[in-house]
Amino acid sequence: MHVVKVIFICLEVLLLFNLLIFVHELGHFLAARWRGLKVERFAIWFGKPIWKTKIGGVEYCLGSIPAGGYVSLPQMAPMEMIEGKSEGEEKKEQLPPISALDKIIVAFAGPLFSFLLALVFAIVVYAVGRPESESEKTTVIGYVEKGGPADLAGLKPGDRILEIEDKPVTKYGGMGESIQWRVLSSEGAQIPIKYVRSNEVSGAVTTNVVQVTPVKEATKAWKRKSLRQIKIDAAQTAIIGDVKAGSPGEFAGLKAHDEVHAINGRRLLHYAGVSDYISEHKGEPVTLQGLRDGKPFEVTVTPIVPLNSTNGDPKIGIAWMLGGRMGLAHPGPIEQMRGSVNAMVSTFAALFSSKSDIKPQHLGGAVKILSVYYILFESDQGWRLALWFSVLMNVNLAILNMLPFPVLDGGHILLALLESIRRKPVNAKVLNYIQTGCAVALIAFMLYIAFFDVQELSFFRKEKTEHVEFPKQPPK
């Protein structure tokens, strides 16, 4: 059954990924037909074709490298490095020349169709909703790692962050005005963080600013360099995901989906607060208060040191759901499109900043995109998440292809503009060298990104999963 599920998810991923490519190339194809250009080949993916057929003088094929697609148009700039040659293709010299306007229209049609597809996906997401975790949308700190940068600066659970580097934050996760992105893309040796703190006893509210010195994890030379962290997590309801059989938690009567709001009367803002409290009060029974099926419950459990413990810390044998409560958000189509564009702008700004730690190696290629789609489809609300992610992907595809780099659509537009200014096309041989050189550079960059992407696939990662064994409990 598991194998069937994996195969089904893989088919979903390939179908959606191919749809993104197909619609983009369909824009070029339809525009070329409209403007009367010669179309030699319509290809999805690159490399040696694993399937092809010829209809109406056009060769349709599926390549062997899942990294894009193209429409072969001999009257446009030469693309033989990527496209290869079609059987029986006409020599370019025998084809009538086309205007610079025709070239611009055909080149622009691909990004336009990607953008329109993003809008369609955004409308669907607005209608069906997007899963949104409790932790994703808050700016309240739920957990501060002891001895970490935020802890040393004086930040505490319950603090609500207003600004990072004098820039407002409206949520914890994601791109744009989020705490995570502001920290990752920060540039100073210290990060000024403005926050609000409420005194639970007096009710007084104070606004403060602290300077936090971020840290980066050490990484191997061949892996992506880690980015800045301040070692905090967002506030979220502590919800039990699983209770280990034979554990103190099971013996005490804890169940999956129980919400734990307090431990020994101490309010919880994050599930990590439970393990911290247990570590601070080793061996002492703890009482957990919360909700079960919407009704209050209270359970007292005595933590036990597992038989295979390496540090002697007592545990109660429960695993937590990440992110807290889940809900459905219905962001407007324009809001989604604007957010996707802003995410791209923010990424480019950080990428080209000399002070930023974000480098080209941190970008994701086809392998990363496919893996993200797989992970999304694997979750309970996978299809909704995949639709939402497709909005961002199509906007990315549109904007990236508009960059004025030869081989990309923006490069074709730039060459067409030069042609209109010069009143004649760029020399064919010079153009061929430029296109070939840029194609080699683009393929090399794609392989460079794929090198890092592949290392992050779960199949290649050796993740240590904690196996906990408890001594036998007395009968209930």
- Please state, in angstroms and rounded to a whole number, the distance separating the CA atoms of residues 89 and 348: 39
Q: Quick: pLDDT tens for 302-324.
A: 998 887 777 778 888 899 999 98
The reported pLDDT for the residue numbered 462 is: 52
Which of 234, 249, 270 is at the close of a domain? 234
Of the residues 12, 25, 136, 456, only one is catalytic, namely 25
Q: Which residue has the higher pLDDT, 45 or 106?
A: 106
**Does the pLDDT at position 427 exceed 80?**
no
The reported pLDDT for the residue numbered 466 is: 61
Which of 181, 207, 234 is at the close of a domain? 234
pLDDT over 70 percentage in the chain: 92
Residues 254 and 205 in one domain: no
Classify residue 158: in a domain, yes or no: yes
Residues 416 and 383 in one domain: yes
Classify residue 336: in a domain, yes or no: no
Name residue, tokens 């604007």: 338
Classify residue 55: in a domain, yes or no: yes
**Does the pLDDT at position 67 exceed 70?**
no
How much is the average pLDDT of 426-440?
81
Residues 285 and 190 in one domain: no
The reported pLDDT for the residue numbered 464 is: 52
- The residue segments making up the domain with residue 376 are 2-129+370-455
How much is the average pLDDT of 184-210?
88
How much is the average pLDDT of 250-254?
90
Residues 100 and 178 in one domain: no
Classify residue 326: in a domain, yes or no: no
Residues 186 and 219 in one domain: yes
Q: Count the domains in the chain.
A: 3
Q: Which amino acid is at 113?
A: F
Classify residue 213: in a domain, yes or no: yes
- Please state, in angstroms and rounded to a whole number, the distance separating the CA atoms of residues 30 and 37: 10
The reported pLDDT for the residue numbered 159 is: 94
The reported pLDDT for the residue numbered 170 is: 93
How much is the average pLDDT of 139-159?
94
Residues 21 and 120 in one domain: yes
Q: Quick: pLDDT tens for 358-413.
A: 988 888 888 888 888 888 888 888 889 999 999 999 999 999 999 998 888 998 89
For residue 1, what are its two tokens?
Answer: 């059954």
111 burial level (CB within 10 Å; 0-12, 13-18, 19+): buried
Question: Which CATH number fits the domain that encloses residue 160?
Answer: 2.30.42.10
How much is the average pLDDT of 172-200?
91
Catalytic status, residue 93: no
Which of 234, 257, 276 is at the close of a domain? 234
Name residue, tokens 């607060």: 273
Residues 212 and 145 in one domain: yes
Residues 310 and 298 in one domain: yes
- Note the pTM of the prediction, 2 decimals: 0.84
Classify residue 331: in a domain, yes or no: no
The reported pLDDT for the residue numbered 364 is: 87
How much is the average pLDDT of 115-144?
94
Classify residue 468: in a domain, yes or no: no
Residues 48 and 105 in one domain: yes
How much is the average pLDDT of 124-141?
93
358: left (phi over 0), alpha (psi -120 to 50) or beta: beta
Residues 33 and 118 in one domain: yes
The reported pLDDT for the residue numbered 372 is: 86
**Does the pLDDT at position 242 exceed 50?**
yes
Residues 168 and 119 in one domain: no
How much is the average pLDDT of 27-55?
89
Residues 139 and 116 in one domain: no
